[in-house]
Structure 1
Amino acid sequence: MTTSASSDPVEVLDCLGQRCPLPVIAAARRLPELPIGAVLRVLADDPAAAIDFPAWCRMRGQEFVAALSVDNSPAYDLRRLQ
């Protein structure tokens, strides 16, 4: 489900080098500060992030938009729904 036509991130959160659960904690702190419908891109190279971000979004009622690569770094787009 997409609530906005744009999936361009309004902010990029660099969590490269951080291990679980730090990237999810950082995203959980930052996402509520963004406007509803905004996309937060999180750069995270911890292998657990690929599982953690979709699961966190389901549990918290947010949208997991995409997993992608940005400049050869794993990235995750999360949309604030509430």
Structure 2
Amino acid sequence: MESDFTLDCYGLLCPMPVFKASQKIKELQTGQILEIISTDEGIKSDIKVWCEKTGNELLQIDEDDGEIHTFIRKLASDE
């Protein structure tokens, strides 16, 4: 999946990947896609809850050799 911006959270542990995603998505326009690259297994459940709370859309979660690629579409206008 293609994204408008990739956020490198490699090696960061919970809650930092979601915290950094929250900060970065504020800079994106509605409809743009943010990719988060993480190694923390917790992001898979944490990002779902975060998307539900913020009104953003979780598009996809892929895993490849310990890397977790999460794709979120910005839907909310205010974070």
TM-score by length of 1: 0.85
Q: Secondary structure at the residue paired with 1:28? A: helix
Q: Which amino acid aligns with 1:55?
A: V
Q: Unmatched 5+ residue regions in structure 1?
A: 1-6
* TM-score for both structures, normalised by structure 2: 0.88
Letter in 2 for 1:10: D
Query: How many equivalent residue pairs?
Result: 75
Letter in 2 for 1:65: L
Deviation of the 1:47 alpha carbon: 1.0
1:33 alignment partner, SS class: coil
Output the CA distance in 1 between the equivalents of 2:73 and 2:49. Answer: 14
Q: Does 1:64 align with 2:58?
A: yes
Structure 2, unpaired ranges of 5+: none
Identical counterparts, % of pairs = 28
Partner of 2:71: 77
Alpha-carbon deviation of 1:16? 0.7
